[in-house]
Amino acid sequence: MLSTLRRIVQEVNSALDLEEALRLIVHLVRNAINTDVCSVYLLDFNRKRYTLMATEGLNPESVGKVSLGVSEGLVGQVGLREEPVNIQNAASHPKFIYLKETGEEKYNAFLGVPIIHQAKVLGVLVVQHVEDRQFDEGEESFLVTVSAQLAGVIAHAKASGEFAEFANREKGGNRIEGVKGSTGIAIGHAAVIFPPADLDAVPDRKPDSIAKEVRIFRVALEAVRQDIKNLQVRLEDSLRMEERDLFDVYLRVLDKNSLGGEIVKKIREGHWAQGALRIVVQHYVRNFELMEDPYLRERSADVKDLGMRILAKLQQVGPVRLDYPDDTILIGEDVTTSMVMEAPREKLAGIVSLRGSRNSHMTIVARALGIPTVVGAQELPIHQVEGNLLIVDGYRGIIFTHPSEELLKYYGEILEEEKQLVAGLEAYRDLPAVTKDGHNIALWVNTGLLADVARSLNQGAEGVGLYRTEIPFMVRDRFPSENEQEAIYREQLQAFAPRPVTMRTLDIGGDKALPYFPIVEENPFLGWRGIRITLDHPEIFLVQIRAMIKASVGLDNLRILMPMISSVLEVEEACYLIHRAYHELVEEGFKVKMPPVGVMIEIPAAVHLTKNIAERVDFISVGSNDLTQYLLAVDRNNARVAYLYHSLHPSVLHALKYIVDVCHQENKSVSICGEMAGEPASALLLMAMGFDSLSMSAASLLKVKAAIRQVDIKTVKEWLLEAMKMDNPEVVRSYLDLEMELAGLGGLVRPGK
C-alpha cells in the first residue's frame, strides 16, 4: 500500500493543473481500492457549495454541473463533521440526496473522507460501490491517508487555477494570505528570483524577442550536444558497448525532431527559453515516470539530466536575474538574505517569499532595510506572476494580484499616509525617549548591514544594542581575516563613538548559513549554533575577539555579547577566551580598556539561570526571537506553524519580566534586542517591565520613540498589569491594540486603520 500511496502522490504532484490533478486522483484511487466509483467534490468558499469536479464511475457529463449546499447530502455531512462517513447502503441514510444527473442510484456502498488543508475543509473524496457492503477499515484508512497527503497539492493547484482564471478576467483583486514579515505597503511589479541550476524553480516569463530566445536556446543545445560528443570520445575505451550507445540516445533526444524541436515550438508559443525547457522536460519526465517498464522509467533521470545540462548553458548565456523593474517586488520560493542584498536597493519596493517566517533571517534584514515583506505565501503561483502588478500589505501579511482600480486607490492612500507619518516622525529625531511623566529609556539599534550605520545615525540612535557580525561573514567566500574583521568593526565603532556598540560574537547555524562553512543537520535550530560552534572552534572565536578589541583602541565603546548560551560553563569558557585575548593584546602593546561582556538570554534554560549568568557578566540582553521560538517550541522559520509564534504569549511575557527583575536584583543592566522591541505596543510593554534599553531596527526607532513620548509610564504599567493576568496571546494582542487606539496611537501600529 505504501508504494501505491507514494506513486499516487508523486503522479498527482506532477500534474500541470487542477483539472489534471483531480482526474489523476479519481483514476488512481479507484484502481488502488478497486471500487466502482471515485469522485472529488470541491468546496466553493464564496458560494458555500460543493461541486463535483472529477469522477470515474459517475456520469462524466455531470462534472462541473452537480453541486450541493454545505450541509446537504452525505458529502455535506463529511464536510460538516470533518470525519469519514462510511455506509453500507447510502440511500437508507436520512441525509442522502439523490443526484439524478450523476447516475449514482445503482451504487449502494458510500465512503467519503474530507480533504482538509491547514484546518480548512477543501472538499470531499468519495468512493462508491454497487455491492451492498461496507468499505473495510483498511480501505477507509487508506482513503484518509491519500486525502491528507493530497490536500496540500489540491490547495496549491486550486490556488493556481483560481489565479489563472483571474488573470483572464483581469478585474477585481485576488488575495493571497501569507505571514507578516516587515510592515509597510508596496505596490509594484513582480520580479521572480530563483536559485540557479534548479529546473523546477524556473518561472514562466514572456520574452522580449522570441527569435532571440530561439537563438539562445539553439546555442545552448549545440553546446550540450558538443559536450556529449566530447564525453563519448573521451570515454570510448573505458565503457562497454551498450553504455556508449546511451550517448547516441542522448544525442537523439536532443535532436531537433525530438526534445530540441519541442522546446523551440514552446518558445514560439510565447515562452522564454528557460521556461520552455522546464515545461517540456517536466512533461517528458512525468511520462517516463508513469511507465510500467522499469528500464523506461529510469530514462526519466536521463531527460532530467539533459534538462539540467541545457539549463546550465542557458544560465551562462543569460544570468538568473539582471533586470529589476523600478518598483520591484522580489518574489522567490525561498528568498535568501543574499538575494535581497544583491537586488538594487533603490528599486526594491517589496519582498514576497513562499517559505520562511516572521523571524527568519532574511525577514529581519528586510525589516532593517524597511522593505514591506510577506513570507510564507505558499499559495502564490510563482510560475505565473512574473511582471504582474502586485500589492504587498506587510501590515496584514497579504498579497493582492490583479488589483482593481479601487484597491489600488485604497492602498495608494495608505502609502500616502505612511509617507506623512514618516515625515511627521522626523520631529522626534533629536528628542530623548522619555514618557510624559518623565521615565527615560535608551533606544538602540540592531545593525549588520553597512547601510544600517547611516540610517541609524539619521534616526538618532543612542547606541547599537546588537551588531550581528555574521552578516559581513555571509557576503564573503571565506572567513574574513583578523585584519579584515578589524577594519569592518572599526567602521561600526567609529561611526557610533562615543555611543556604545554591542558586538555579538558569530551566531551562525540555525537559518544563518555561511556559504563556505556548510552545516547540514536534521534539526539545525537545536543543533550546532552560535556559541556552540565558536567554543568548538576557539581559533575562529579568538580571531574575532582580537579583531573587535583591536578595533576599539582609542574609542573604548565596544561591548561584547555572546549568543545561544544555555549553561554557566559556556559563559565561563567564553569569558576565559575573551580575557585571554584581551591580555595577549595588552601584552602586545595595545592600549585598550577591557570591554564589558554580556550574555544573550534566548534559551529557556538560560532564563532559569539568569541570576547565575548575571553574576558572571556585565550585562544581559534578551533575544526574544529565539526565546519565543524555544519557549513555544515553534520553529521561527516555519510558515506552517507561524500562527503559533507569539512574542506576546503569556509564557514569554512572564519569562521576560522574571529576567528583568533578577537582573535588577543583581544590579546588572538588561536590554532586549529581539524584533518585539521594534513594535510600538510591545515596546511600551517592555518599557513598563523595566528594561533599561530597547534595541530595534532603525526603521522602527522613530515610531517607538513617538509612542513612548505620548504615554505616561504610570498608564503603561497598568496595561502591563492587565496583560500579565491574561492567558491568551490573541487577547493580549487585541487588548494592546485597543489601548493604543484609545491613546491615539493606532496609526503607529498600522496606517489606514
Cβ atoms of residues 66 and 47 within 8 Å:
no
Q: Considering only residues 486 through 525, tell me which ones interact with ligand PEP, judged by CB under 6 A.
A: 507
Catalytic residue (one of 361, 383, 402, 649): 361
C-alpha to C-alpha distance for 323 and 339, rounded to whole angstroms: 13
- C-alpha to C-alpha distance for 161 and 531, rounded to whole angstroms: 47
Our CB check for Mg ion shows the closer of 39 and 682 to be: 682
Residue 57 binding partner per list Mg ion, ligand PEP, none, with a CB distance cut-off of 5 to 8 Å that depends on partner kind: none
Query: Pick from ligand PEP, Mg ion, none: which does 624 bind, CB < 5 to 8 A by kind?
Result: ligand PEP
Residue 550 interacting entry, from Mg ion, ligand PEP, none, C-beta within 5 to 8 Å by type = none
Identified binder of ligand PEP from the candidate list 73, 674, 680, 747, rule CB under 6 A: 674
654 is catalytic: no
Kindly list the residues in this chain that would bind Mg ion in the complex (CB under 5 A). 602, 623, 626
CA 45, 47, 53, 58 torsion-angle sign:
positive
- The verdict on 108 binding ligand PEP (CB under 6 A) reads no
Compute the least distance from the CB of residue 673 to ligand PEP, in Å. Answer: 5
Asked if 37 and 57 touch (Cβ cutoff 8 Å), the reply is: yes
The stretch among 248-256, 272-280, 617-625, 653-661 that binds ligand PEP (CB under 6 A) is 617-625
How many Å apart are CA 29 and CA 22, to the nearest integer? 10
Nearest to 684 by CA among 700, 699, 698: 700
Of Mg ion, ligand PEP, none, which one does residue 466 interact with (CB within 5 to 8 Å by kind)?
ligand PEP
- CA 252/CA 533 separation, integer angstroms: 51
Answer for which of 53, 673, 688, 716 binds ligand PEP (CB under 6 A) is 673
CA proximity to 629, closest of 526, 550, 509: 526
What is the dihedral sign for C-alpha 487, 490, 494, 495? positive
Least Å from the CB of residue 626 to ligand PEP: 3
CA distance 284 to 433: 64
Taking CB within 5 to 8 Å according to partner kind, which of ligand PEP, Mg ion, none is near residue 674?
A: ligand PEP
* DSSP single-letter state for residue 525: G
Residue closer to Mg ion by CB (options 507, 739) is 507
In whole angstroms, the minimum distance from the beta carbon of 625 to Mg ion comes to 5
CB of 507 to ligand PEP, least distance (A): 6
Residues 353-392 vs ligand PEP: string with x where CB under 6 A?
A: -----------x----------------------------
Number of CB atoms found within 10 A of residue 6's CB: 11
In the complex with ligand PEP, the residue whose CB is nearer, 128 or 625, is: 625
Select from 631, 558, 630, 625 the least CA-distant residue to 598. 558
* Part in contact with ligand PEP (CB under 6 A); list of ranges 186-194, 233-241, 402-410, 619-627: 619-627
- Closest by Cα among 61, 26, 285, 59 to 154: 26
Residue from 462, 602, 679, 692 binding ligand PEP (CB under 6 A):
602
Closest CA to 366 of 626, 182, 625, 180: 182
Between 86 and 625, CB nearer to ligand PEP: 625
CB of 364 to ligand PEP, least distance (A): 6
**β-pair partners for 158:** none
Dist CA 635 CA 356 (whole Å): 10
Distance CA 21, CA 154 (A): 7
Q: Strand, helix or coil at 161?
A: helix
Please give the span between the terminal C-alpha atoms of the chain, in angstroms, as a whole number.
53
Nearer to Mg ion, 511 or 739 (CB): 511
Q: Are strands 389-393 and 120-129 parallel, antiparallel or unpaired?
A: unpaired
Please state the closest distance from residue 631 (CB atom) to Mg ion, in A. 13
Tell me the closest approach of the beta carbon of residue 448 to ligand PEP, in angstroms. Answer: 9
Determine contact, residues 149/370, Cβ cutoff 8 Å.
Answer: no
CA-based R_g, the chain, Å: 30
Q: Which of ligand PEP, Mg ion, none does residue 364 bind (CB under 5 to 8 Å by kind)?
A: ligand PEP
Q: Applying CB under 6 A, does 468 fall inside the site for ligand PEP?
A: yes
Q: Give the C-alpha separation, 596 to 587, whole Å.
A: 19
- Residue 399 and residue 178 in contact, taking contact as beta carbons nearer than 8 Å: yes
Closest distance between Mg ion and the C-beta of residue 181, in Å? Answer: 17
- What is the rounded distance in angstroms from the CA atom of residue 86 to the CA atom of residue 68? 19
Question: How many angstroms separate the CA atoms of 445 and 464, rounded?
Answer: 5
Q: CB-wise, 90 or 698, nearer to ligand PEP?
A: 698
Indicate which single residue of 626, 635, 692, 739 sits in contact with ligand PEP (rule: CB under 6 A). Answer: 626
Of 453 and 565, the one with the shorter C-beta distance to ligand PEP is: 565
Strand, coil or helix: 344:
coil
Binding-site partner at residue 468 among Mg ion, ligand PEP, none, CB < 5 to 8 Å by type: ligand PEP
Exposed, middle or buried by CB within 10 Å (0-12, 13-18, 19+), for 406? exposed
- Minimum distance between the CB of residue 559 and Mg ion, rounded to whole angstroms? 17
Contact 707, 683 (CB under 8 A): yes
Known catalytic residue at 583: no
Give the SS3 label for residue 748.
Answer: helix
Q: Is 466 in the site for ligand PEP (CB under 6 A)?
A: yes
Q: In the complex with ligand PEP, which residue's Cβ is closer, 393 or 626? A: 626
Q: How far apart are CA 591 and CA 588, in angstroms?
A: 9
Which CB sits closer to ligand PEP, 391 or 607? 607
- Give the interface segment with ligand PEP, choosing from 205-213, 324-332, 533-541, 618-626 (CB under 6 A): 618-626
Q: Using the minimum distance from each CB to ligand PEP, give the nearer residue, 602 or 739.
A: 602
CB of 325 to ligand PEP, least distance (A): 31
Choose between 56 and 675: whose C-beta lies nearer to ligand PEP: 675
How is residue 121 written as a grid cell?
A: 475543509
With binding defined as CB under 6 A, does residue 625 bind ligand PEP? yes
CB of 694 to ligand PEP, least distance (A): 12
Task: Decide if residue 635 touches ligand PEP (CB under 6 A).
Answer: no
Enumerate binding residues for ligand PEP (CB under 6 A).
364, 466, 468, 507, 602, 623-626, 673-674
Catalytic center residues: 361, 673
